[in-house]
């Protein structure tokens, strides 16, 4: 793992391959990235986007895990799976060839087992774990394992026009580039020193910072009964509650809402919304009834946006460069906007 190993050098070939990003975030950040191994679970549309971004960024190794077979729906958003001859194959195995071709310098592996069957020791070989397509119970369990073992934890999903990502980096240290503030004597505010200071305003310095994240379980179990929480509720995106409804549906049914059972699934989603939001002490009307019309299947453009943000956050965490999103990112494809929310115990 990056924090447990000395970050080595990179070869001339790697320096040429990653020249653009080394210029962007620096050689030390790229070295940390090249020493990192990532586990990515769930190779649907969002998983494909995240895999592409991490492989192109130049992590040391990426393990793509999925125990499910390719379905007809996968071809609409999953560009790593060939459109012909893939039906019935394992999703991760079907994605391997195109994924590896993106960057031969990255060690891309496949695991076809169910993540629920993996022991805790399995996860300790990775520096970051990113889960998609998992139930709430699995997300909470793996997040706890990652926190215990100082592994960066990420999760995300796309439901129709909506998508999200969550990060728990524990106690995370990073560096941020800041512009130096020139010091000018008050007595020479209009003199040549002031003009020189203005010319040098582009000079920067690296500042070390630290941020603390909360567990996924706590982020989902906010107590909305206090006056402070009620005030925050007015500023909280309804996508936060939509996520909880969809995770509850997935946990109960073992699948996501499907278009071929739209009527049945829509009724269940509305019932889950009513029960869940009432249990949280929140008015169900906060999530309007029409949400059921926009949360079926995976939309490729939404996968691209959420996958871009999720991949970016994994890269930032592993390279320890730039402030991370703490802790949720929500994307609404209908409105075309994204928002970062910090939710959890205060």
Both 31 and 160 in one domain: the answer is yes
Is 90 exceeded by the pLDDT of residue 231? no
Can you name the residues that pair with 211 across neighbouring β-strands?
Answer: 172
For residues 233 and 316, state if they share a domain.
no
Shared-domain flag, residues 24 and 114: yes
Question: Comparing 6-15, 80-89, 127-136, which segment has the lowest mean pLDDT?
Answer: 6-15
Q: How far apart are CA 32 and CA 2, in angstroms?
A: 6
Whether residue 103 sits in one domain with residue 76: yes
- For residue 245, CA distances in Å to 155, 201, 233 come to 16, 49, 17
- Specify the pLDDT at position 5: 39
Whether pLDDT at 25 is above 90: no
CA–CA separation, 80 and 68 (whole Å): 15
Query: For residue 201, what are the CA distances in angstroms to 36, 179, 185, 197, 342?
Result: 35, 7, 16, 6, 32
| pLDDT over 50 at 246, yes or no | yes
Contact 123, 131 (CB under 8 A): no
Bridging pattern class, strands 171-179 and 204-212: antiparallel
Give the phi and the psi of residue 102 in degrees, each rounded to 5: -65, -35
- Domain match, 119 and 80 both: yes
**Which of 14-18, 58-62, 208-212, 272-276 comes out lowest in average pLDDT?**
14-18
pLDDT at 178: 83
- The domain spanning residue 146 has which CATH number? 3.40.50.720
Higher pLDDT, residue 201 or 134: 134
> Residue 245: which domain range?
222-293
Distance CA 312, CA 148 (A): 24
The total number of structural domains that make up the chain: 2
Between 26 and 335, where is the model more confident?
Answer: 335
Question: What are the tens digits of pLDDT across the range 45-79?
Answer: 999 999 999 999 999 999 999 999 999 888 888 99
318's tokens: 């592993």
- Are 49 and 101 in a shared domain? yes
Cα–Cα distance list, 111 to 68, 100, 198 (Å): 11, 15, 55
Whole-model pTM over 0.85: yes
CA 293 – CA 280 distance, rounded (Å): 23
Same domain? For 236 and 307 the reply is no
Shared domain for 285 and 231, answered yes or no, is yes
**DSSP string of 39-52, one letter each residue:** EEE--SHHHHHHHH
The verdict on residue 118 lying in a domain is: yes
Average pLDDT over residues 311-334: 95
Q: pLDDT tens digits, residue range 162-184?
A: 999 999 999 999 988 888 766 65
């Amino acid at each position: 793992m990056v924090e447990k190993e000395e970050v080595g050098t990179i070869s001339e070939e790697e320096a040429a391959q990653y020249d653009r990003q080394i210029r962007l975030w620096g050689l030390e950040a790229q070295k940390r990235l090249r020493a990192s191994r990532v586990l990515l679970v769930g190779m649907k549309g969002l998983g494909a986007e995240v895999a592409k971004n991490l492989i192109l960024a130049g992590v040391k190794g990426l393990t793509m895990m999925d125990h499910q077979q390719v379905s007809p729906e996968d071809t609409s958003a999953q560009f790593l799976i060939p459109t012909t001859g893939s039906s019935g194959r394992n999703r991760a195995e079907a994605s391997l060839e195109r994924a590896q071709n993106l960057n031969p310098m990255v060690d891309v592996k496949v695991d076809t087992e169910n993540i629920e069957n993996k022991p805790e020791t399995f996860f300790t070989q990775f520096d970051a774990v990113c889960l998609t397509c998992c139930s709430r119970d699995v997300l909470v369990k793996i997040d706890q394992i990652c926190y215990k073992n100082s592994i960066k934890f990420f999760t995300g999903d796309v439901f129709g026009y909506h998508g999200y990502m969550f990060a728990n980096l524990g106690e995370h240290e990073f560096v941020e580039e800041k512009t130096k503030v020139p010091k000018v004597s008050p007595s020479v505010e209009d003199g040549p020193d002031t003009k020189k200071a203005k010319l040098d305003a582009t000079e920067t310095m690296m500042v070390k910072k630290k941020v603390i994240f909360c567990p996924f379980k706590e982020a989902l179990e906010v107590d909305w009964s206090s006056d402070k929480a009620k005030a925050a509720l007015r500023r909280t995106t309804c996508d936060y509650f939509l996520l909880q409804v969809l995770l509850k549906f997935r946990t109960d049914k073992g699948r996501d809402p499907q278009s071929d059972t739209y009527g049945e699934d829509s009724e269940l989603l509305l019932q889950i919304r009513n029960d869940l939001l009432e249990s949280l002490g929140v008015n169900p009307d906060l999530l309007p009834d029409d949400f059921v019309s926009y949360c079926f299947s995976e939309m490729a453009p939404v996968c691209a946006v959420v996958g871009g943000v999720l991949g970016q956050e994994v890269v930032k965490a592993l390279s320890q460069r730039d402030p991370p999103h703490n802790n949720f990112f929500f994307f609404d494809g209908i409105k075309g906007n994204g928002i970062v929310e910090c939710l959890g115990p205060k």
